[in-house]
Structure 1
Amino acid sequence: MKLLLHACCGPCSLEPVRLLQAAGHDIAIYYANSNIAPREEYAHRLATLEDWAKSEGIPVIEGPYDPVTWEETAGRIGNAALADVQAARKENQPAAADRAESGRSAPADRISDPYEDASLRADVLSVDPARREARCRACYRLRLEETARVAAEQGFDGIGTTLSVSPYQYTQVIEQEVRRAAEREGIEGVFEDFRPYYDEATRRSRALGMYRQNYCGCRISDEEAAAERAERKAQRAAAKQAERAEHAAEIAAAEAELKKHRADRAAYDKKQARKRAILKSLREQAKQKASE
């Protein structure tokens, strides 16, 4: 089948392309990702994809970069979810005078630093999962409908996507949107759950020195990923602190033993130095008597 494969980035394309080619599909890649922000990130991912695809002899077609349309669809849903968080925080924020007294500046009227403290991390991570799924569905739909339209216009038999290689995506929703977009244009929807090959894709992309991003692509996923990383860091710090507290007595005993050892060593060194000084004095006295 002549297949137009929607791709989100280079690393996620490695295994899907290999498997689809092995299944006999003639592949061209379509880069339709108006969700990616900022534009520099979009360009970096595209360049990584194009460099690899060129080495494999796979054509890459770039779709229009239209973040405005993305904001009007998926972005609007994401903003609604974050607005709930912002509203809740405003109700619980201390007065400006209290913040000044505590040495903290007044927070901006948006979540600009989701990992500033534990409460902000919790707020970002507590966004209603149903709304998050709705945002991602709208994002998938926008990009896959565009892919299907271009595929139909350019004579492809069907479409697929690399999105399902990621264990962080909504796999079932992706399948639904691939088939929906394809049916809408009268072409085939080719879907496969590539998640079992994620580890191999990770290994291969690292071996190739590919740029690997640390968030899905949109500004909201960037905030979520940052919050999740900060939460994991906080959990590791808490676990380390708890372990230290659990073994506090052992640590204190070990430190006391080390301190005693150092004190004993210092006393021994002082005693030996005094002996050496006495012996040196006796030798000098004997030498002086022998010379008289």
Structure 2
Amino acid sequence: MADSQILVHMCCAPCSIYPVKVLRAEGLSVMGFFYRHNIHPYTECMKREQALDRYAETEDFKVLRQKDYDLKTFLQHVVYREADRCRYCYHDRLKSTALLARRGHFDCFTSTLLYSRHQNHELIREMGESLGKSVGVPFYYRDFREGWKEGIETSKRLRIYRQQYCGCIYSEVERYLGKGALRITPEG
């Protein structure tokens, strides 16, 4: 894989630190992709995007980003399916990355979701591999969780903006009000 170009879905700067380091050490040329439809509120999306831009500039790699902010469509796909919202979110982010990797003639693609201890790692891997086969660009699987602490320490040392929740409005509610705060009942 050395000298190959990889498109990396990047959810934020802190989660990108360790994967970028490892991928470059493996000889891959890294380009990032910032997906923004799931991040709420818009001000949070902008904080994450700006932090990622600053980090990318410091580390000398480019980041592609969506030009729009389609929170409405994201919410329409997960409303009343909140318990399974991550499945939709993973799929949409990975599919967007895979399609962009195909258009950009990348050798492979991956995601910084594979860095987080809070994500469903096996589901991400299965989806990535399936999407890679369907679009004709291999999914590059790597378990980046081993660098969890290193990424946190580095982001703190570099004073990079560190968010306190995954990104969607539901994870924000769970972060601040607890896991049981999202109980949805027929009565509302």
The two structures have a TM-score, normalised by structure 2, of 0.89
The corresponding residue for 1:36 is 39
SS for the counterpart of 1:217 is coil
Write the distance in 2 (CA, Å) between the matches of 1:200 and 1:74: 33
- Structure with the larger RCO, 1 or 2 (CA within 8 Å, 6+ apart): 2
Cα deviation 1:223-253 (Å, max 9, x = unaligned): 1111239x9xxxxxxxxxxxxxxxxxxxxxx
- Select the structure that is richer in helix: 1
Q: Is the 8 A contact 1:15 1:201 kept in 2?
A: yes
Question: Which of the residues 192, 209, 234 maps onto 2:159?
Answer: 209
The corresponding residue for 1:54 is 57
The corresponding residue for 1:72 is 76
Write the distance in 2 (CA, Å) between the matches of 1:224 and 1:29: 28
Q: 1:180 offset after TM fit, Å?
A: 1.8
Give the letter aligned to residue 182 of structure 1: G
Write the distance in 2 (CA, Å) between the matches of 1:222 and 1:189: 29
Seq. identity, %: 32
Q: Is the 8 A contact 1:73 1:139 kept in 2?
A: no
Write the distance in 2 (CA, Å) between the matches of 1:75 and 1:20: 36
Q: Which runs of 4+ in 1 moved over 4 A?
A: none
The corresponding residue for 1:6 is 9
Q: How many residues align?
A: 177
Question: Which of the residues 157, 173, 185 maps onto 2:135?
Answer: 185
SS for the counterpart of 1:189 is coil
Q: Is the 8 A contact 1:35 1:217 kept in 2?
A: yes
Give the letter aligned to residue 144 of structure 1: L
Compute the RMSD of aligned alpha carbons. 1.7
1:196 pairs with 2:129: no
Write the distance in 1 (CA, Å) between the matches of 2:45 and 2:141: 25
Write the distance in 1 (CA, Å) between the matches of 2:153 and 2:78: 31
Aligned 1:126-165 pairs, distance under 5 A:
131=83, 134-165=84-115
Structure 1's unaligned 5+ residue stretches are: 79-130, 232-292
Question: Which of the residues 22, 27, 31 maps onto 1:19?
Answer: 22
SS for the counterpart of 2:178 is helix
Inter-CA distance 135–156: structure 2 relative to 1 (3 Å threshold): same
The two structures have a TM-score, normalised by structure 1, of 0.58
Which one has the largest radius of gyration? 1
Structure 2's unaligned 5+ residue stretches are: 182-188
Q: 1:69 offset after TM fit, Å?
A: 2.0
Aligned 1:102-121 pairs, distance under 5 A:
none
